[in-house]
Structure 1
Amino acid sequence: MILTPAFDHMFQLPIPIIEKVVRPVIVYLALVLLLRIFGKRELAQLNPFDLVVLLSLSNTVQNAIIGDDNSVSGGIIGAFTLLAINWLVVRVLFRSPRLTRALEGRSVVLIRDGNIDGKALQHEALTREELIEVIHRQGYEHVHEVHRCELEPNGSFYVEGKDPSIADKRHDELLLKLEALNKEIAALRTRPATT
């Protein structure tokens, strides 16, 4: 049959299965460690340079994961191993808050009561402009409107305003108007029908 050599080539593993399993585990653990060392900024993707690094990272470690193997079987084994090690790590971290804090680190307060913590910004390698951009995205115009801003271990930002943000105010106004409309509709339904 003509298809047999093609299928043989697609599914034949040029390297041992154990190597196909060990490679992704080593790369996964190395990436977790490196991202922990280089900080939360890499996860936050604040500027185009950080995004380029993260996108290039996957291409850089690809050969370390699959080796000289371009087979479908090798790709499936590598993908399965990555998903399995991630599943295992997530389960272990779920059961151990102490280990989670050790691996992920703690959140860092960047703004307290409208004041920027310059040392925290410097430690996280964030510029004042990048922080301002973060609070603008959250609906705050100025730093003095922010009660607290934290950079979480996963790279996300938590921003709490002294007063509700413009977006929160609009949301609350919209909810009040919807509630008023619901009351009007309910009142109309209870009115006796006139003919």
Structure 2
Amino acid sequence: MAVGRLSAAAFNLYKEIIREKAIAGSCKWLIFIIKSGTTMEHLFFKDWESLYHIALCALVSYLALFLFIRISGKRTLAKLNAFDFVVSVTLGSTLSSMILMKVTVSEGSVALIVIIFLQYLLAFMAKKSKTMEKAINSTPSLLFYNGVFMEDAMKRELITEEEIYAEIRQYRIERIEDVRAVVMELNGEMTVVKKSETLSKWTSLDDIDLKKS
């Protein structure tokens, strides 16, 4: 009898624990559903005040970036090398942070000024020093020249023959014999140079070391 009572008590205790866990689980699901509903509602619309602030920040941030670019000149908009690409991405990221109010307009403006100043400083140093120019801009890579694929340069730049053919087609060139060279420029883009009918003392390939390629 004692064993039977003990088993019944244990069974009742087990049922009570299961019931409490079920209630706790139901409460958790209810809380999750309520929170999810609130989150989904805020996903599409929060309030008019936040929209007003974002619109105002977007206007001020856009005008600030436009002003800084006008002051710094066309070089800020150029995409001539890897650093120009970094500047473009950083400017966009900073502008986005300003619009979404992750930083204040004054903080974002300071960041924009620093980024533009660094680009101007490096461009100035590259202009004054050949060593700095090579360190900042690297050098163009000759991928194809007079019907020959430059295998070493292609391996170094991770370029395939199919990609070179595709770039040649972009220039609406059918005959490979009409192509003098394919060059990977400082900004990562490929340029196709057509053969000229007349010989010239200076060409656009003079800054490329053909032996190194």
TM bucket, shorter chain: 0.3 to 0.5
Q: TM (normalized to structure 2)?
A: 0.43
Q: TM (normalized to structure 1)?
A: 0.47
Q: Looking at CA atoms only, which structure, 1 or 2, has the larger radius of gyration?
A: 2
Higher RCO (CA-CA < 8 Å; seq separation 6+) = 1
